[in-house]
Structure 1
Amino acid sequence: MRKLVLVLLVLFALPAFATDRANPACHEEIPCQLGDRSYHVKEPDGWDGTSPLPVLLHFHGWMRQGSLIVKHQRISGATRRRGVLLLAPNGHRKTWDFWDDDTDDVAFAAAVIEDAAKRYPIDRSRIYVSGYSYGSAMAWRYACENGAGVAALLAISGTLRQDETCPEAPREVRHVHGTADTVMDFPMGPGGDRTFPVALWREKFGCGAARKDGPWQAVEWLTLERITWRECATGTVTLDLHDGGHFIPHGWIGWQLDQLLGRTPAYP
């Protein structure tokens, strides 16, 4: 990760930013500038201005920007109700370079977290990385290359190739995918193996047998089948499946955050 190291060295050479809470320099649709790139941030409801904040770093989908994410009810609607700071980086030319490890986007996303830490007291033990579609594949790439400080990967409808070799990994992986997805095709395994979408992480964590923990529902109109691998040398892997296509399931992000934060899962 030579590029990651270089970008962070440049970032740390910049003077620390002192945020004026009454008139923040950037928030929601007003982007935070970071060199020649930018990101968006949304504070949770009722934050007292001093308590450390869990973080959700969310990568937008193709041809989108972070300005959409901080208004998206299935994303920011979940974080703001749960005391979680939402960070939404803007992809270069509205997309992400996740295809291989020679990408500047991992270093940029890491720099986003460090820049946000100058503005907010973030809880380093509860940094969650998420994304949808192309953004999900980018979240996988981030976790693969720089996941040591990530508490959980929350990925929606997008993966890397399952034969990737990842130097790092998050502490936990949660992935949701529709079996009828034809945009970021559901990665069916050999012999119709529906657990193949998380094969990379199961191997990385040294996981054994799976168990079924579903079906479950955050909303009555969508049922998900949950498969979990807890018998792993390190970490845990969770796969949620539904019979739909390419979308962010209602309530899914909030449900995961509730469980990760030790709250009773609720919708919205």
Structure 2
Amino acid sequence: MIIGGALGRWGRWIAFAFLVAIGLATMADAHPADEGDPWPGLMVNGLERHYLLHLPAGWQASAGALPLVIVLHGAAGDARSTADMTGFSPLADRGRFIAVYPEGTSIGVDPPRQTWNAGFCCGAAVRNHVDDLAFLGALIDRLAAEYPVDRRRIYLTGLSNGAMLAYRFAAQFPEKIAAIAPVAGTIGGTAGADQPPISIARPDRPVPVLIIHGMLDGYVLYRGGVSPNIGIPGRFNVSVDDAVRFWAAADGCGARSTRDVTSDGRVIFQAYGDCRDRAEVRLVALALGPHEWPVAIERPGGRTEPTAALIWRFFKQHQR
């Protein structure tokens, strides 16, 4: 079972904006500093970038090194709405980690629709060849220089276009990331008709991966293919099974996997163990899940858990 519902007064609008798809929806302009968390700027390759930073409540520099969780919005999303939607900030207070919400770019787009350059998707970030890999790398270095970030425990999650960038960054820089948790994303595809297929390169070291994806996703299709909802002829994404096989091979996992299903059959859990360097590959497939960040996910036995908490529980099991 997927538990939905509004998250605050903008919940329905946020859910709609993410559902309408990977670079084509319009969201209200957000002002992330309004609610108290810092909204720093960072110059990368001549572009001023921004990120919303949440330090755990009561944090003190003398408390020791802290894990870092980077949360990437979807296309047409923004940092503040993603913080509100995912719930990582209050979880960071309880779990004692730093949560950071970077923001994409919208160069030449009016009204702004922030996207990430994941290679084949999405929007203006791809057209303008924005180096979001450099941005994330610089962001990690900045935070590690200013705060006691535990570089062995840096984690990356994201929704849709943000999930695509999470895949890409982890494959390119596996030495920087302890684990990733992409939601409703893909490892590759084509940007449109007559465009070459693009996929992430195989990493040179294992990366633990938790994949969460709705099987009724109409925008990043679970079984792969051309989405009827995107509006870009020929835009194609590879399947979730392709992503699972890719990471199981990259992590050197055994051929066998375990499988568990909730009593109503709506949530399928698959896990590959026996991987190199204690890595693992897990899949949470939501039988009735659309293209969204699920608020909570039912686990076998009937207990539900917020998606952010499920991801954090996975992250805590891994460090570089």
Q: Normalising TM by the smaller chain, what interval? A: 0.7 to 0.9
Q: What's 1:246 paired with?
A: 291
Q: What's 2:176 paired with?
A: 149
Q: Structure 2: which amino acid aligns with 1:257?
A: W
Q: Structure 2: which amino acid aligns with 1:134?
A: N
* Aligned counterparts of 2:87 and 2:214: Cα–Cα separation in 1: 16
Q: What's 1:89 paired with?
A: 102
Contact 1:42–1:70 under 8 Å retained in 2: no
Contact 2:52–2:101 under 8 Å retained in 1: yes
Q: TM-score, normalised to structure 1's length?
A: 0.76
Q: Structure 1: which amino acid aligns with 2:55?
A: E
Contact 1:195–1:239 under 8 Å retained in 2: no
* CA shift digits 1:99-135 (9 cap, x unpaired): 1697510010111111112221011111001110110
Q: TM-score, normalised to structure 2's length?
A: 0.64
* Aligned counterparts of 1:210 and 1:146: Cα–Cα separation in 2: 27
Q: What's 2:250 paired with?
A: 204
Contact 2:51–2:101 under 8 Å retained in 1: yes
Q: CA deviation at 1:170?
A: 5.2
Q: What's 1:98 paired with?
A: 118
* Aligned counterparts of 1:63 and 1:112: Cα–Cα separation in 2: 21
Q: Structure 1: which amino acid aligns with 2:216?
A: A
* CA shift digits 1:149-207 (9 cap, x unpaired): 21101110001228542344553111110111012211359xxx973332221221222
- Give the paired residue count: 232
- Asked whether 1:215 is paired with 2:251, we answer no
* CA shift digits 1:202-242 (9 cap, x unpaired): 2212222232352369xxx9953111111234521111111
Q: CA deviation at 1:77?
A: 3.6
Q: Within 5 Å, which residues of 2 pair with 1:13-162?
A: 29-35=37-43, 36-50=48-62, 51-93=64-106, 94-99=114-119, 104-161=131-188
* Aligned counterparts of 2:293 and 2:187: Cα–Cα separation in 1: 18
Cα RMSD, aligned residues only? 2.9
Q: What's 1:16 paired with?
A: none
Q: Structure 2: which amino acid aligns with 1:69?
A: T
Contact 1:79–1:254 under 8 Å retained in 2: no
* Aligned counterparts of 1:63 and 1:168: Cα–Cα separation in 2: 32
Query: Residues 37 and 204 (structure 1 numbering): CA distance in 2 closer, same or farther, change over 3 Å?
Result: same
Q: Structure 2: which amino acid aligns with 1:158?
A: G
Query: Residues 37 and 188 (structure 1 numbering): CA distance in 2 closer, same or farther, change over 3 Å?
Result: closer
Contact 1:61–1:134 under 8 Å retained in 2: yes
Query: Residues 28 and 223 (structure 1 numbering): CA distance in 2 closer, same or farther, change over 3 Å?
Result: farther
Aligned sequence identity (%):
26
Q: What's 1:166 paired with?
A: 202
Residue 223 of structure 2: which of 187, 203, 226 is its match?
187
Q: What's 1:21 paired with?
A: none
Runs (4+) off by over 6 Å: none
Gaps of 5+ in 2: 1-32, 107-113, 121-125, 190-198, 226-238, 297-305
Query: Residues 261 and 164 (structure 1 numbering): CA distance in 2 closer, same or farther, change over 3 Å?
Result: closer
